[in-house]
Amino acid sequence: AQSVTQLGSHVSVSEGALVLLRCNYSSSVPPYLFWYVQYPNQGLQLLLKYTSAATLVKGINGFEAEFKKSETSFHLTKPSAHMSDAAEYFCAVSPTGTASKLTFGTGTRLQVTL
């Protein structure tokens, strides 16, 4: 069985500062990894995904994530936070790339302050 751990349920950064949201996973087979973003009162939307190609994955809105097999991590970063980045972020893993096997983390709420 696979699992996802997101360290920190709340993260606060200043506008312009580095954003780092942590995600560690466990999977018995090579995983497919995803980051989703949820803005207030909206559904989730895909930010980026890792599917065993390049280990550094670029997503929308300037976000990127690096797959590190040795650390079983897939941390999400953005060099400079913007007020519009305030949202909840979910890491997810699927061992086979199958939607029905997708496991979500518990989410990290990002606050961006002036």
Contact 6, 106 (CB under 8 A): yes
Residue 113 contacts other proteins per CB under 8 A:
no
The residue among 2 and 15 lying less far from other proteins, judged by its C-beta, is 2
The minimum distance between CB 36 and other proteins, in angstroms, equals 8
> Can you tell me the distance from the alpha carbon of 54 to that of 50, in angstroms, rounded to the nearest whole number?
8
Q: Classify 109 as helix, strand or coil.
A: strand
- The nearest distance, CB 21 to other proteins, in angstroms, is 14
Shortest separation between residue 49's beta carbon and other proteins, angstroms: 6
Alpha-carbon distances, residue 83 vs 31, 69, 86, 110 (angstroms): 32, 32, 6, 10
Choice from 11, 27, 34, 75 touching other proteins (CB under 8 A): 34
Nearer to other proteins, 17 or 59 (CB): 59
